């Protein structure tokens, strides 16, 4: 393909892209060589901060097709009318590693979907696990520090991880998933995705339901064993990125069937578990999955940086008819994502092509770095006498119809038996070979931590299930632990 004449960033034709201008053959380089200075200066600025978490990832374009009309539950227009298709962009990621880290690391996987609806973008920023480690956003930076590098050695530290998990035992439900082979999925195509949080749908009449989103892979779940994952980390650290790209490139378009669990407000408030505690699932026996749509990924990014690295997802990017809930973690996330985007990408991150909504954007925000769409001569204040944009009376306010009451205080979650029931149920669901892998995966990393941390962890594992505790204890001893 002929891509035309080489130019400078300024559009001037470049006559020589191989040789710097110098004063004589052995003379110094000249400041007047704009092409050299501009090329080096731009290169010096090529990197933007990587995401503070979920730095390594891959993405693809596609569509969401609604297979069940949901207008009785929500006024979100993209959820009304069977067969309606909405363009999407999806990014999958690992969590703790840096941009160049291995795709097969033991980690949850991010599962973020941007829906470009006619009412602006809705981002479903979930994981491949239906729950999370913690249930208060105040703990998130501490938790993530334990997943990153030790401040002195700059090494990953099982001691930091198990110290935190054993001191925050509500995490052990998610830790059990993480240490099972579900912690090492076989690429991004063979895993489910979840909103994890309970979200709210609000209908035109103001009625409201609580929902959890489930994206179930049509490729079937496939996980790697610890040995396979470790080997791939050495031989092909970009295994999942390559797998997704090459499947789409050869026309093998991955898809997910999308389901909802739906609860009335009353059902949610009377449920045996706190539905706003993201360390808990809502049992599918109690609230079965209802199929509502299909997500298909059928187009690779043209440019990784522009589309994947600059993609900015946020749980607070909501459309009328989808609303937040009192889930504290979700509340913390509503702030954190746009905040980090303004740092990582700049105040005008929503103007970048991958983030820019596909409907008409119309507001009074102006200027700032890289303001590409600055609304020409339109008034930049409201009210004004020169014609809009003005608020639309019809749009349902996202926070509508939610009652709050109570004293302002730091209302602490208490650790109760309920926190051990769901990991117990999960442990009991595992096959014998899955349990063996889980036990070995735990023991293999726990054994290098101080005995006090091993003992504290065992106390919790025994509380989950006697067999779980006993087997991890035996495996630790076999590996030479002094417990
Ligand atoms: C990425 C914060 C919990 C899923 C991020 C980023 C931040 C963050 C700052 C980087 C975003 C960027 O630079 O673009 C938080 C905080 C949390 C939290 C403060 C809790 C208080 C969760 C939970 C989930 C989740 C519970 C899943 C249910 C993701 C995903 C990404 C991400 C998928 C990557 C998005 C992408 O692909 O660009 N998070 N997070 N996070 N987080 Fe969270």
pLDDT at 206: 87
Are the C-beta atoms of 446 and 414 separated by less than 8 Å?
no
* Same structural domain, 453 and 338: no
* Same structural domain, 262 and 136: yes
State how far the Cα of 336 lies from the Cα of 208, in Å rounded to an integer. Answer: 26
Question: How many structural domains are present in the chain?
Answer: 2
Neighbours of 79 (CB within 10 A): 26
State how far the Cα of 438 lies from the Cα of 471, in Å rounded to an integer. Answer: 10
**Is residue 372 a part of any domain in this protein?**
no
Q: Which CATH number belongs to the domain containing residue 300 in this structure? A: 2.40.180.10
pLDDT at 367: 97
State how far the Cα of 187 lies from the Cα of 241, in Å rounded to an integer. Answer: 8
Nearest to 80, CA basis, from 262, 258, 293: 293
* SS3 of residue 348 by DSSP: coil
Structural domain including 204 reads: 57-148+182-351
Query: Which of 324, 351, 378 represents a domain boundary (last residue)?
Result: 351
State how far the Cα of 14 lies from the Cα of 367, in Å rounded to an integer. Answer: 32
CA–centroid distance, residue 473 to ligand 1 (Å): 34
- pLDDT, tens digit only, all 483 positions of the chain: 889 999 999 999 999 999 999 999 999 999 999 999 999 999 999 999 999 999 999 999 999 999 999 999 999 999 999 999 999 999 999 999 999 999 999 999 999 999 999 999 999 999 999 999 999 999 999 999 999 999 999 999 999 999 999 999 999 999 999 999 999 999 999 999 999 999 999 998 889 999 999 999 999 999 999 999 999 999 999 999 999 999 999 999 999 999 999 999 999 999 999 999 999 999 999 999 999 999 999 999 999 999 999 999 999 999 999 999 999 999 999 999 999 999 999 999 999 999 999 999 999 999 999 999 999 999 999 999 998 788 876 666 655 667 888 999 999 999 999 999 999 999 999 999 999 999 999 999 999 999 999 999 999 999 999 999 999 999 999 999 999
Any atom of ligand 1 within 6 Å of the Cβ of 311: yes
Q: Which residues are annotated as a binding site for heme?
A: 337
CA–centroid distance, residue 355 to ligand 1 (Å): 16
Q: What is the DSSP string of 257-324?
A: EEEEEEEEHHHHHHSSS-TT-TT----TTTS--EEEEEEEEEE--S-HIIIIIT----TT---TTEE-
Give the nearest ligand 1 atom to 54 CA.
34
- The yes-or-no answer on residue 341 being catalytic is no
**Is residue 404 a part of any domain in this protein?**
no
**Is residue 425 a part of any domain in this protein?**
no
Give the nearest ligand 1 atom to 312 CA.
14
Nearest to 200, CA basis, from 418, 405, 397: 397
pLDDT at 35: 96
pLDDT at 401: 63
State how far the Cα of 475 lies from the Cα of 483, in Å rounded to an integer. Answer: 11
Q: Given the residues 35, 121, 127, 128, select the one marked as catalytic.
A: 127
**Is residue 322 a part of any domain in this protein?**
yes
CA–centroid distance, residue 157 to ligand 1 (Å): 21
**Is residue 25 a part of any domain in this protein?**
no
Query: Which of 334, 351, 368 represents a domain boundary (last residue)?
Result: 351
The dihedral over CA atoms of 52, 56, 61, 64, expressed in degrees to the nearest 10, equals -70
pLDDT at 259: 99
pLDDT at 394: 66
**Is residue 410 a part of any domain in this protein?**
no
Query: Which of 331, 351, 371 represents a domain boundary (last residue)?
Result: 351
Give the nearest ligand 1 atom to 57 CA.
37
pLDDT at 422: 98
**Is residue 338 a part of any domain in this protein?**
yes
pLDDT at 399: 55
* Same structural domain, 187 and 326: yes
- The yes-or-no answer on residue 17 being catalytic is no
pLDDT at 392: 79
Q: What is the pLDDT of residues 247-282, one digit of tens each?
A: 999 999 999 999 999 999 999 999 999 999 999 999
């Amino acid at each position: 393909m002929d891509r035309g004449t080489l130019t400078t960033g300024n559009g001037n034709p470049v006559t020589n892209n191989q040789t710097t201008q110098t004063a004589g053959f052995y003379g110094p380089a000249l400041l007047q060589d704009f092409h050299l200075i501009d090329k080096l200066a731009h290169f010096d600025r090529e990197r933007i901060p990587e995401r503070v978490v979920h730095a390594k990832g891959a993405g693809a374009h596609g569509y969401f097709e609604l297979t069940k009309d949901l207008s009785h539950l929500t006024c979100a227009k993209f959820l009304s009318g069977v067969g309606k298709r909405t363009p999407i962009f999806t990014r999958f990621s690992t969590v703790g590693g840096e941009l160049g880290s291995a795709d097969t690391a033991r980690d949850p996987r991010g599962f973020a979907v941007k829906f470009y609806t006619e009412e602006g973008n809705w981002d479903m920023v979930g994981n491949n696990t239906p729950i999370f480690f913690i249930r208060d956003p105040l703990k998130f930076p501490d938790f993530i520090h334990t997943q990153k590098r030790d401040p002195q050695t700059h090494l990953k530290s099982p001691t930091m991880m198990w110290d935190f998990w054993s001191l925050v035992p509500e995490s052990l439900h998610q830790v059990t998933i993480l240490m099972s082979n579900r912690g090492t999925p076989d690429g991004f195509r063979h895993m489910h995705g979840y909103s994890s949080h309970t979200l709210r749908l609000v209908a035109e009449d103001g009625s409201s339901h609580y929902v959890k989103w489930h994206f179930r892979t049509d490729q079937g779940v496939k996980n790697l064993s610890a040995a396979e994952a470790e080997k791939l980390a050495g031989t092909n650290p970009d295994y999942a990125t390559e797998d997704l790209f090459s499947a789409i490139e050869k026309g093998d378009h991955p898809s997910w069937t999308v389901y909802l669990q739906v609860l009335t407000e009353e059902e949610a408030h009377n449920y045996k578990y706190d539905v706003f505690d993201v360390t808990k699932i809502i049992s599918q026996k109690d609230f079965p999955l209802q199929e509502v749509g299909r997500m298909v990924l059928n187009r690779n990014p043209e440019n990784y940086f522009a589309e994947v690295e600059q993609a900015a997802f946020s749980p607070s990017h909501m459309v009328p008819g989808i609303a937040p809930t009192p889930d504290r973690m979700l509340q913390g996330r509503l702030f954190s994502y746009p905040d980090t985007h303004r740092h990582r990408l700049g105040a005008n991150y929503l103007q970048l092509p991958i983030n820019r909504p596909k409907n008409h954007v119309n507001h009074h925000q102006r200027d700032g770095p890289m303001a590409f769409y600055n609304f020409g001569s339109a008034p930049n204040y409201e009210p004004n006498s020169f014609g809009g944009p003005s608020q639309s009376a019809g749009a349902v306010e996202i926070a509508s119809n939610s009652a709050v009451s109570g004293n302002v205080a730091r209302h602490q979650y208490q650790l109760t038996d309920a926190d051990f029931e769901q990991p117990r149920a999960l442990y009991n669901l595992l096959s014998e070979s899955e349990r063996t892998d889980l036990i070995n995966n735990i023991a293999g990393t726990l054994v290098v931590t101080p005995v006090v941390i091993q003992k504290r962890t065992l106390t919790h594992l025994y509380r989950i299930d006697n067999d779980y505790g006993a087997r991890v204890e035996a495996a630790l001893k076999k590996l030479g632990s002094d417990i």
